[in-house]
Structures are given as structure tokens and as C-alpha cells.
Amino acid sequence: MADLLISPLVSSILKTLNSLVLKEFGIAWGLKTDLENLGSTLSTIQAVLQDAETKRGKGEALKNWLRKLNDTAYDANNLVDEFMNEAMRRRMDSKRGIKSQVRATFALLKRLIFRLKMGHMINDMKDRLDAIIGEKNKFHLREGVVETENVCGMERGQTDSLVNELEIYGRTDEKEMIIEMLLNNSSNHDDDVSVYAMCGMGGLGKTTLAQLVYNDGRVESYFELRIWVCVSVDFDVERLTRAILESIEGRGCSISNLDPLLRRLQEKLFGKRFLLVLDDVWNEYHEKWDRLKNALKCGAKGCTVIVTRRIQKVALITATLPIHMACLSEDDSWSLFKQRAFGNKRREKNLQLNLIGKEIVKKCKGLALVIKALGSLMQFKRSESEWLSMKESEIWDLPDDGSGILPSLRLSYEALPPHLRQCFPHCCIFLS
């Protein structure tokens, strides 16, 4: 992950070098030229970093070059931070004033030593960076490939049952099929609780389809209770039971032990036909699922659980019937992209942008999450050159997990401003 973050790091170093405090300090201490030369070298590197980071998957030599640059950039950052800290200390000393000749002489000596030390360190750092720059030509890197302004960010957190049906494309047939199964459930199954698993890779639209089913008027009339819980990675029976109770009762649950929680849940569900949606399930352990399912076997005939999950193994554990979702059709994909990129009230009159957009959509492979992400990104880009840069980006050709999602979403990452990209190292601490 480290080599993904060189560009924002270099931007941060340049920002510090260009600060007024450091410029004044450099002039006062005779290091103005050294700092300017270091800044010039970093600017030369920054000019090609976007292209280098885009092509990082193209060969081991480029990866090694980026790793070497990454290590040197962190050393440069530490050096500039040290220089800034000294500048701030000297500024405070000058405000307090020096009261004796002895202290004045001692301060002058420290100044000369620091000036020599920092001069050597800055020049050594510049030499290291110059050597790295000398290697960049063999990678044929271009300057200023990707712009970093105005981007719509994305995040995956807690889901909910609310949905705007006017913004959904291409799930009508699947929605009707699932609703028909739910309404006919009481006559087709002998189980106390039937479980349907919506299967598919991440970004396909499983949560959206579950929301459409959950909010349909026929479903609302058929079930006495409808409950929505986002599960995610942590399939904790106590937490999920409490979340189900809170959804039913509309308030927080103060019960802390699992057994009374499960008994309270059975009291609320007893004799009622309910629909429970467990969104984004990752758990693969039989015992956890069985414990929760046993507590649900107290309702009326026709009770149903809908599970959305991306892991095939989970469907085999949890589901009475897996439902495999298809990718969006080309027409539905274009409608979704167009709605995000051009908006509902305005239609793009530039025919060339439409043609380029359709080519971008083909690369999204019918994945709703990717289409929405890139559509939201392109709404801020109005020139043909920006759209062509997106379509022709080499990120599309990078290897990934086979889903096509990672190269697509990497384009959104590349468009983030540097100060937002710097958040990623902190996230990695918690993911590693």
C-alpha cells in the first residue's frame, strides 16, 4: 500500500517548503538556495508521479523504482519536518530576545553548526532524489496525467432500508421474481423460517435489490413485521439480536446477556409473520447462524429471512435457496451512468461525451457500484480530454481479483486530492 501514497506525500513536502516560515528561515540562515533546489527536484518528481502510480502494475522495475522513491520521500519529509521545527523554535527565541553576550555567542555557534549540518543533509537528499530522477526516463513517464480536483468520494458503512426507486435501473424482473417467492412462501416450504440468499460479487447491487423488495407495498402488506439489520464482517449473535429487537421496538435495548435477549426476541416474534433482511453477511460458521435461526423459529407460517452476501460458501450455509444476481445490461448501465454524470434535469448535449461515456460504461462490466462511482466522478469533468483520459487510463488493464471492481475504483482514488489520499495510510493501520 505504501507505494500508492507517494504523490500526496510529495505534495505535503512541497507545501511545507513553500510555507512563509520556512522561506524566511532559509533566507536568514543562508539555506535559501538549498531549499529551493530541493523543492525543484521534488516538483520534477511530482510531475510524473501520477503516471507512475497509474502504471505501477506494469512491471517489477517500476514497482522497485516507486518503492525506492517512497523510502526517500519519507526521509525527505522527516528532514523538512526537522527544519520546520527548528524554524519555529528560532522564531520563538527571537521574540523572547537574548539577554547576555555569552548566550548570544553560544546562539551564533549553534546557528553555524546547524547551518552546516542542514546544508549537508539537504544536499545529500537532493543527490538521492536526483539519482532516482535519472532512472525515470526508462519508464517513459508522462507529466500531469491525472487531475486531482473535485471528486465525489465513496464509502461503505452501515446500510439501511431506504431507497429512491427513481434512481434504480434494471432490477425489475429480479424484484418481481423474489416478491412472488415471498408471497407464495407459506405454501411452498415446510420450514418455520425460509432463507433466501442474494449472491453476487461486491458492487453488483445486492443491497439495492433487497431494499426494493423490502419497500414494495405488497411485501409491506403481507408481513406483520419487517426488520432490516446490517451485519457486515462481525456476525455477533448478541449484537444482531439486540439490533433486531431495536428495529422491532423502535428504541434501544438495555439487556446485556444473550439468553434473555433471545427469549425477548422470541416473545416479540411469536405467532407473527415477519421478514428479516440481514444485509452484507460474511460469516461462515454454522454454529453462529444456527443459534440465531433457532431463535427465529417461533413466528407464523411464511416467515422469511433474506441474506445478501458475496461469498458462495455463506450461501450454502445459510440459505434455503440461493438467488444469483446478474450484472446490469448495457442499456441499464448507460442509464445509471448518464443519470449520475449528467443529472436528472439536464441531458448532455455534447455527443462526443456521450460516445466516450458509453465506452467507459463498457469497461465497468455491469457493476452498479463502479458505474455510480465513475458517473459521480465524471459529473465534475466537462472537457473531452478529461473523459478520454478516463477511458484510456492504463488502470483498467491492471490485474485484480477478477471482478473488475478494483481497477475501476482505483480511478476514483487517483482523482482524490492529495490531502485525502494521505488518510489511507492511517486506514491501513487498522486493516493490517
Counting DSSP H helices and E strands in the chain, the numbers are 20, 5
Task: State how far the Cα of 13 lies from the Cα of 16, in Å rounded to an integer.
Answer: 5
Residue 45 lies in a domain: yes
Residue 424 lies in a domain: no
Condensed to tens digits (0 to 9), the pLDDT of residues 409-421 reads: 555 555 555 555 5
Residue 420 lies in a domain: no
Residue 230 lies in a domain: yes
Task: State how far the Cα of 205 lies from the Cα of 143, in Å rounded to an integer.
Answer: 37
Q: Quick one: 302 and 373 in the same domain?
A: no
Q: Quick one: 190 and 125 in the same domain?
A: no
Q: Quick one: 127 and 180 in the same domain?
A: no
Nearest partner of 423 among 8, 116, 3, judged by Cα: 8
Task: State how far the Cα of 133 lies from the Cα of 14, in Å rounded to an integer.
Answer: 16
3-state secondary structure of 306: strand
Task: Using the predicted structure, report yes or no on whether residue 188 has a pLDDT greater than 50.
Answer: no
Q: Quick one: 112 and 184 in the same domain?
A: no
Q: Quick one: 400 and 306 in the same domain?
A: no
Task: State how far the Cα of 9 lies from the Cα of 77, in Å rounded to an integer.
Answer: 8
Q: Quick one: 96 and 198 in the same domain?
A: no
Task: State how far the Cα of 181 lies from the Cα of 184, in Å rounded to an integer.
Answer: 5
Task: Using the predicted structure, report yes or no on whether residue 37 has a pLDDT greater than 70.
Answer: yes
Q: Which of 211-215, 251-255, 308-312 is predicted most confidently?
A: 211-215
Q: Quick one: 114 and 207 in the same domain?
A: no
Lowest mean pLDDT among 185-194, 366-375, 385-394: 185-194
Please give the pLDDT value at position 93.
65
Q: Quick one: 290 and 169 in the same domain?
A: yes
Please give the pLDDT value at position 150.
35
Per the CB < 8 A criterion, the answer to whether 66 and 56 are in contact is yes
Per the CB < 8 A criterion, the answer to whether 42 and 69 are in contact is no
Q: Quick one: 180 and 290 in the same domain?
A: yes
Nearest partner of 166 among 215, 228, 221, 229, judged by Cα: 215
Domain boundary among 78, 104, 139: 139
Condensed to tens digits (0 to 9), the pLDDT of residues 153-178 reads: 334 467 888 888 888 888 899 999 99
Task: Give the model's confidence band at 86: pLDDT under 50 very low, under 70 low, under 90 confident, else very high.
Answer: confident
| CATH code for the domain in which residue 281 is found | 3.40.50.300
Q: Bridge-partner residues for 229, per DSSP?
A: 278
Q: Quick one: 357 and 307 in the same domain?
A: no
* Number of domains into which the chain is organized: 3
Reading the block at residue 414, the C-alpha cell is 487517483
Please give the pLDDT value at position 159.
85
Mean pLDDT over each residue of the chain, to the nearest integer = 78
Domain boundary among 105, 139, 173: 139
Q: Quick one: 294 and 361 in the same domain?
A: no
Task: State how far the Cα of 269 lies from the Cα of 260, in Å rounded to an integer.
Answer: 14
Task: Give the model's confidence band at 2: pLDDT under 50 very low, under 70 low, under 90 confident, else very high.
Answer: very low
By CB atoms closer than 10 A (0-12, 13-18, 19+), residue 29 is buried
Residue 338's domain comprises 330-415
Q: Bridge-partner residues for 307, per DSSP?
A: 197, 278
Per DSSP, 29 falls in state T
Residue 285 lies in a domain: yes
Residue 426 lies in a domain: no
- Is residue 38 within a helix (H) or strand (E), and if so which, with residue range? helix 32-54
Residue 409 lies in a domain: yes
CA angle 191, 196, 201 (to 5 degrees): 155
What single letter denotes the amino acid at residue 313?
A: K
Lowest mean pLDDT among 145-149, 202-206, 351-355, 404-408: 145-149
Task: State how far the Cα of 275 lies from the Cα of 219, in Å rounded to an integer.
Answer: 9
Condensed to tens digits (0 to 9), the pLDDT of residues 89-144 reads: 777 766 665 454 545 555 566 667 777 787 888 888 888 888 888 887 777 776 65
Long-range contacts of 98-104 (CB under 8 A, 24+ apart): none
Domain boundary among 324, 340, 357: 324
Q: Quick one: 199 and 347 in the same domain?
A: no
Per the CB < 8 A criterion, the answer to whether 270 and 299 are in contact is yes
Q: Which residues contact 176 (CB under 8 A, 6 or more apart)?
A: none
Residue 432 lies in a domain: no
